[in-house]
């Protein structure tokens, strides 16, 4: 198969200073893309600020012969999101794709979370994805299209502990992604999502120990199995102009790529539906053996 390259293309990657965002940016640059490395250099919980992470990735790309520019803005602010897109246009004259990867984490039990925890997660994960996507959307519409890749999480699917704030916000990103995919095709815009399985500071042995209430040493091997480099090919493919997908969600990590989707069965129907009808036919309602995909990503 012909090598998939990004020569002449410009891609904005948020949260690109560390973890999967960093490896997304490096892979894009190695395939010829000009990259906007957006990262405010915050701590895992969103506090603080440092230009260091973004600068380090930009320098790494340039040292390898690529082109990149840093942005230190926060995705949680509309002006910051707009500035990231402006950085692409000012530096490279165009924008072809956005990978919304920025994220924070502070896992705790639901009863131990306070309102501010939920707001912070929504500000970065959900609204951050909204603001960056919307800032790019107008340019994409005017210029005949573009690609949006949003970072999802299996935490939104009830697969991880202590994820009510983080997973709830990521659930919003899932809904946003599929809704964007419904609106985008008439403008030549696609929107897809990727749920990474990667070892990062948000999934370190220490964090996993806290989440699962087991010793940190139990998770060292797991962390070694999921380097971010093995997730990036799926994210970068979704950003490539040849990718035919729209409204699809992938899970990727440890060398695997899988699809996840919403499905619906035929259920039951009645002109005079009662509570007893539901109770008496619960097995049929719950049977997903003949279920079909629903939504814009149904095919």
Active-site annotation, residues? 166
Backbone angles phi, psi at 24, to 5 degrees: -60, -50
Q: Which of 131, 70, 158, 161 is nearest to 150 (CA)?
A: 131
DSSP codes of every residue in 162-191: S-HHHHHHHHHHHHHHHHHHHHGGGGTEEE
> Rg of the chain over CA atoms, in angstroms?
20
Specify the DSSP class assigned to residue 122: I
* Contact indicator for 203, 216 with CB cutoff of 8 Å: no
Query: Tokens 């990978």 sit at which residue?
Result: 99
Which residues sit opposite 51 in a β-bridge? none
- Dig out the tokens for 63 from the structure: 């040292």
Angle between helices 164-183 and 128-142 (to 10 degrees): 10
Element of type H or E holding 75:
none
What distance in Å separates the CA atoms of residue 220 and residue 217, rounded to the nearest whole number? 5
Which residues sit opposite 142 in a β-bridge? none
Sequence-distant (6+) residues with CB within 8 A of 287 are 265
């Amino acid at each position: 198969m012909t090598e998939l390259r990004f020569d002449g293309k410009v891609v904005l990657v948020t949260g690109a200073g560390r973890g999967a965002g960093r490896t997304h940016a490096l892979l894009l640059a190695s395939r010829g893309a000009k990259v906007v490395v957006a990262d405010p250099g915050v701590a895992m919980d969103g506090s603080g600020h440092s230009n260091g992470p973004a600068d380090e990735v930009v320098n790494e790309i340039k040292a390898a012969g690529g082109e990149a520019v840093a942005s230190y803005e926060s995705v949680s602010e509309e002006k910051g999101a707009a500035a990231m897109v402006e950085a692409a246009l000012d530096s490279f004259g165009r924008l072809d794709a956005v990978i919304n990867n920025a994220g924070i984490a502070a896992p705790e039990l639901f009863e131990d979370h306070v309102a501010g925890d939920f707001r912070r997660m929504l500000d970065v994960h959900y609204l951050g994805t909204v603001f960056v996507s919307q800032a790019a959307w107008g340019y994409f519409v005017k210029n005949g299209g573009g690609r949006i890749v949003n970072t999802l999480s299996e935490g939104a699917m009830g697969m991880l502990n202590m994820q009510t704030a983080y997973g709830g916000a990521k659930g919003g990103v899932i809904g946003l992604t599929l809704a964007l995919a419904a609106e985008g095709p008439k403008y030549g815009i696609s929107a897809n999502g990727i749920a990474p399985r990667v070892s990062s500071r948000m999934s370190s042995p220490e964090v996993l120990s806290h989440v699962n209430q087991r010793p940190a040493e139990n998770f060292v091997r797991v962390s070694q199995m999921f380097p971010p480099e093995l997730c990036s090919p799926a994210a970068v493919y979704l950003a490539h102009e040849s990718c035919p997908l729209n409204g699809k969600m992938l899970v990727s990590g440890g060398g695997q790529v899988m699809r996840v989707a919403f499905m619906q069965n035929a259920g039951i129907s009645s002109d005079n539906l009662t509570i007893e009808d539901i109770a008496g036919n619960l097995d049929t309602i719950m049977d997903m053996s003949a279920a079909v995909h629903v939504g814009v990503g149904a095919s």
